[in-house]
């Protein structure tokens, strides 16, 4: 495993699927729970290497939003920029 070569979301997904398959094969009649949480939804919004050139002209919006700006209603101004 290499952080530079492996996209973390793919690593979590692949290892979770592998765990579920092994568990189901080892104990086919036993229920189990797997909670899979990905860090990608929390940013930075960086595409997986295999998809990094899929949309060459697309740019993800970047906003500076803090709890202070939300409290004072400035988040609406930032979102409209």
| pLDDT of the residue at 66 | 58
The C-alpha atoms of residue 33 and residue 7 are separated, in whole angstroms, by 24
pLDDT digits (tens, 9 = 90+) for 31-79: 888 888 887 666 666 777 787 788 888 776 666 665 555 556 555 554 5
The C-alpha atoms of residue 15 and residue 7 are separated, in whole angstroms, by 12
What is the DSSP secondary structure assignment for residue 71, as one 8-state letter? H
Using an 8 Å Cβ cutoff, are 39 and 8 in contact? yes
| pLDDT of the residue at 2 | 64
Q: Give residue 17's pLDDT band: very low, low, confident or very high (50, 70, 90).
A: very high
Write out the DSSP string of 17-41. Answer: HHHHHHHHHH-TT---------SGG
Which residue did the predictor score with more confidence, 10 or 69? 10
CB neighbour list of residue 25: distance below 8 Å, 6 or more residues apart: none
């Amino acid at each position: 495993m290499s952080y530079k070569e492996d996209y973390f979301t793919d690593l979590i997904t692949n290892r979770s699927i592998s765990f579920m398959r092994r568990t189901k094969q080892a104990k086919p009649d036993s229920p189990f729970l797997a909670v899979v949480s990905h860090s990608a939804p929390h940013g930075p919004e960086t595409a997986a290497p295999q998809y990094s050139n899929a949309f060459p002209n697309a740019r993800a919006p970047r906003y500076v939003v803090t709890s202070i700006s939300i409290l004072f209603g400035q988040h609406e101004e930032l979102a409209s920029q």
